[in-house]
């Protein structure tokens, strides 16, 4: 089986927590040889995030997959020198230290490009490498607050709402993987690598939508609307007779018409205001009452079946148990079972997209801290006794 479109590409993952490691995971999923570089005594905090089984962190098994692990103290001159030797062999380096940290250790982009002009350097920070906030501590929560996401999320009379998961980090990690592959493509034409300045804030700002443009042109600051939309209606979550929650979308005019015919109120389709999403939003209370009343009188399965047969758009609100048992999720390979040396068969998210000629795959799950230090350094010509001496001095781990 092919190892994916990035087979032959080497990535140094020198990042921690989520955005950078997720970027490296995606590159590894599609064939890159990823070398995860961690401090010998203070490994990536992702190893301590989330739930564990028998002492084995489950999130790490996924975000650390397809990565060989090396313990290396970059703040020590000998450790920094080893990183430079690794960088000579690499195509991409991903880091998320505060701006200036790598430069302080003598391994900033200028030095890295001296040893390898073809290296693509992905620098992930909260607010970017420049500007008045560059030196601030940056975490996904702050990006979720500043991007406008929290302001627009929640009930109209409730507080701004943060997500219960690493939204900003995840969006940034996916965006960073795209940026890295763009830079690799550009290198094919120029022969040179480049530095990518990737903040947690900007990708999520783009995902939130055109609020800055709306404010610039109309002076309007958008507000929270709960599960309703300001662009179309009916759009909400509705509770069924058996206590389940369903999400309904009517982004297309034809779908909106099908929904209203299905729930027994075709007369509203002929109203002039029904012809546009904005017009329907102005009558959202009426539409929600009609749709919600119909759904509330039926079970989840009855509603899903009726909507599907009518060509209307509906989906149950799932939890993890629902995802794992859903036939479409399983049959299309959105989840995959991977053998793990510690836990046996392990269910994980599959690679994020399907490629017909060069598909990615999960080759192995997240490995122990420093599991591959000796092997990776041996590839640089470092003798086993020298690795042992460095390990004794905690330069490597």
Please give the positions annotated as active site.
169
> How many other CB atoms are found less than 10 A from the CB of residue 144?
26
Strand (E) positions, 332-381? 335-340, 344-349
Tokens encoding 236: 């909400």
> How many other CB atoms are found less than 10 A from the CB of residue 15?
27
Instruction: Give the bridge partners for 316, in sequence order.
Output: 246
> How many other CB atoms are found less than 10 A from the CB of residue 276?
14
Cα Dmax for the chain: 83
Residue 236, helix vs strand vs coil: strand
Distance CA 231, CA 213 (A): 16
Tokens encoding 22: 């997720």
Distance CA 35, CA 69 (A): 6
Tokens encoding 204: 């999520």
Q: Check if the beta carbon of residue 128 is closer than 8 Å to that of residue 188.
A: no
Distance CA 347, CA 353 (A): 17
Distance CA 221, CA 212 (A): 9
Question: Phi and psi dihedrals of 96, rounded to 5?
Answer: -140, 35
Instruction: Give the bridge partners for 94, in sequence order.
Output: 13, 122
């Amino acid at each position: 089986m092919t190892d994916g479109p990035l087979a032959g590409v080497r990535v140094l993952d020198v990042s921690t927590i989520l955005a950078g490691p997720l970027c490296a995971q995606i590159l590894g999923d599609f064939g890159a040889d990823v070398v995860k570089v961690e401090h010998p005594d203070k490994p990536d905090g992702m190893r301590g995030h989330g739930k564990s089984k028998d002492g084995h962190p489950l999130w790490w098994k996924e975000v650390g997959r397809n990565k060989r692990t090396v313990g290396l103290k970059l703040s020590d001159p000998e450790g920094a020198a080893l990183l430079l030797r690794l960088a000579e062999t690499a195509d991409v380096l991903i880091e998320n230290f505060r701006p200036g940290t790598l430069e302080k250790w003598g391994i900033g982009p200028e030095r890295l490009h001296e040893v390898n002009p073809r290296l693509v350097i992905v620098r992930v920070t909260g607010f970017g490498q420049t500007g008045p906030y560059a030196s601030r501590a940056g975490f996904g929560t702050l990006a979720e607050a500043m991007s406008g996401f929290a302001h627009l999320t929640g009930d109209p009379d409730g507080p701004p709402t943060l997500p219960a998961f690493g939204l900003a980090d995840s969006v940034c990690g996916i965006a960073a993987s795209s940026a890295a592959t763009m830079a690799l493509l550009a290198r094919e034409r120029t022969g040179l690598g480049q530095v990518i300045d990737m903040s947690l804030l900007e990708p999520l700002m783009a995902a939130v939508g055109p609020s800055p443009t709306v404010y610039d042109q109309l002076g309007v600051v958008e507000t929270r609307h709960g599960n309703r939309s300001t662009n179309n209606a009916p759009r909400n979550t509705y509770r069924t007779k058996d206590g389940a929650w369903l999400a309904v979308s009517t982004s297309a005019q034809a779908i909106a018409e099908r929904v209203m015919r299905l729930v027994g109120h075709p007369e509203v389709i002929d109203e002039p205001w029904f012809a546009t999403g904005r017009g329907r939003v102005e009558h959202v209370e009426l539409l929600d009452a009609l749709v919600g009343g119909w759904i509330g009188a039926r079970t989840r399965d009855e509603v899903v079946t009726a909507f599907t047969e009518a060509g209307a758009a509906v989906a149950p609100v799932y939890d993890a148990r629902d995802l794992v048992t859903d036939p479409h999720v399983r049959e299309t390979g959105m989840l995959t079972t991977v053998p793990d040396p510690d836990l046996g068969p392990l269910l994980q998210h599959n690679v994020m997209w399907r490629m017909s000629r060069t598909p990615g795959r999960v080759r192995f799950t997240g490995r122990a801290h420093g599991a591959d230090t000796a092997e990776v350094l041996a590839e640089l010509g470092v003798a086993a006794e020298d690795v042992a001496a460095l390990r004794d001095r905690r330069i490597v781990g």
